[in-house]
């Protein structure tokens, strides 16, 4: 008797988000679990973005600053350098807006964002400084300045989503919706934003992932559950997922500890990059669509991995 291969039949799929002034980059759209090409479509590769800061990052280890040594004070040059390094997108972090740093005005931030957007031809992700009220003010101006550039802006939270959603709708951007490792809150935030008439495919879920060794499995299971929900028809979880891997991986002591402090762990540079790479590939396997990274070597290594994963295993 012939063996019938059991394949899962899903009824729905992840929404597809389009990014970039020329709408050249697509994310999401999967109709199966990650990389199971034999069960459904994986139409788009994950997008690898490299971070640019609008002020020189004080707490980055030397080995992370090294690839950007000549551009750390110039966001435009830094962004161009990231493109040379092979980044699919630029993630501009407006850290200067933070009250503890320069407390830069929304107008100044918008000017920086505009300059960066005009200097590169890849999609732009713009992230605030993490202070919710300030980010609402900053992103309102940034959204205006980048009107028509089809950017991804955030992060919107329960507290500031209204302003950010409104500016995204008026100026044609997509929004990152952040919720602290809680699938129920993530779903609710997506509902609140779509109730303002933002199309569901203009939201990216940020589950606030942790790095390898720092709760990676918890984030993994939440992403997996969200994907299962999406495939079973839950439209309010059917958004591409964005993972801020760089900020988490480079916070890990395994990445920060210098050679002389923990010689038994091996050379810091290799170890730190591996930490970022493994965290990324793990979340790619959980269904992540956009990865915000810090080290160019990570981009290089993850690309090799993803190219392999994108080879069809259909039968």
Query: Which of 8, 60, 58 minimizes the C-alpha distance to 31?
Result: 8
Minimum distance of another protein from residue 238's CB (angstroms)? 11
Does 236 participate in binding another protein (rule CB under 8 A)?
Answer: yes
Q: Is 288 helix (H, G, I), strand (E, B) or coil?
A: strand
Report, in angstroms and rounded to the nearest whole number, the Rg of the chain calculated over CA atoms: 19
The answer, yes or no, to whether the previous bond of 155 is cis (omega within 30 of 0) is yes
Residue with tokens 């435009």: 76
User: Which tokens hold the place of 1?
Assistant: 């008797």
Contact residue for another protein among 9, 58, 148, 260 (CB under 8 A) = 9
Minimum distance of another protein from residue 8's CB (angstroms)? 10
Does 303 participate in binding another protein (rule CB under 8 A)?
Answer: no
Binding-site size for another protein (CB under 8 A) equals 16
Does 241 participate in binding another protein (rule CB under 8 A)?
Answer: no
Does 234 participate in binding another protein (rule CB under 8 A)?
Answer: yes
Does 188 participate in binding another protein (rule CB under 8 A)?
Answer: yes
Q: Return the DSSP state at 158.
A: T
Question: How would DSSP label each residue in 266-314?
Answer: --HHHHHHHHHHHHHHHHHHHTEEEEEE--HHHHHHHHHHHHHHTS---
Contact residue for another protein among 37, 45, 80, 235 (CB under 8 A) = 235
Q: Looking at beta carbons only, is 131 or 200 nearer to another protein?
A: 200
Contact residue for another protein among 102, 225, 256, 305 (CB under 8 A) = 225
User: Which tokens hold the place of 32?
Assistant: 């199966």
Q: Which residues ranging from 139 to 178 are in contact with another protein (CB under 8 A)?
A: none
Cα–Cα dist 251/291, whole Å: 16
The piece of 114-122, 161-169, 225-233, 294-302 that touches another protein (CB under 8 A) is 225-233
Q: Which residues in this chain contact another protein in the complex, by CB under 8 A?
A: 6, 9, 183-185, 187-188, 191, 225-226, 229, 233-237
């Amino acid at each position: 008797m012939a063996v019938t291969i059991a394949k899962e039949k899903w009824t729905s799929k992840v929404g597809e988000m389009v990014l970039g002034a020329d709408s050249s980059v697509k994310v999401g759209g999967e109709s199966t679990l990650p990389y199971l090409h034999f069960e459904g479509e994986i139409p788009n590769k994950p997008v690898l973005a490299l971070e640019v800061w609008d002020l020189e990052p004080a707490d980055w280890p030397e080995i992370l600053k090294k690839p950007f040594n000549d551009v750390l004070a110039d966001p435009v040059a830094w962004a161009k350098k990231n493109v040379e390094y092979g980044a699919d997108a630029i993630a501009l972090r407006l850290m200067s807006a933070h009250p503890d740093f320069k407390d830069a005005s929304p107008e100044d931030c918008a000017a920086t964002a505009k300059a960066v957007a005009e200097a590169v031809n890849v999609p732009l992700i713009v992230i605030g400084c993490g202070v919710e009220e300030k980010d609402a003010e900053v992103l309102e101006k940034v959204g205006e300045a980048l009107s028509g550039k089809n950017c991804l802006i955030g992060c919107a939270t329960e507290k500031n989503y209204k302003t950010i959603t409104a500016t995204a709708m008026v100026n044609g951007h997509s929004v990152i919706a952040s919720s602290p490792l809680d699938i129920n809150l993530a779903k609710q935030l997506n509902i609140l934003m779509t109730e303002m008439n933002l199309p569901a495919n203009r939201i990216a879920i940020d589950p606030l992932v942790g790095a390898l060794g720092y709760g990676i499995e918890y984030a993994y299971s939440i992403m997996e559950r969200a994907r299962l929900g999406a495939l079973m028809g839950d439209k309010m979880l059917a958004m591409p997922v964005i993972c801020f891997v760089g900020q988490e991986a480079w916070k890990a002591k395994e990445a920060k500890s210098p050679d002389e402090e923990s010689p038994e762990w091996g050379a810091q540079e290799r170890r730190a990059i591996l930490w970022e790479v493994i965290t990324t590939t793990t979340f790619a396997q959980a269904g992540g669509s956009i990865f915000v990274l810090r080290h160019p070597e990570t981009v290089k290594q993850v690309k090799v991995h993803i190219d392999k994963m994108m080879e069809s295993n259909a039968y």
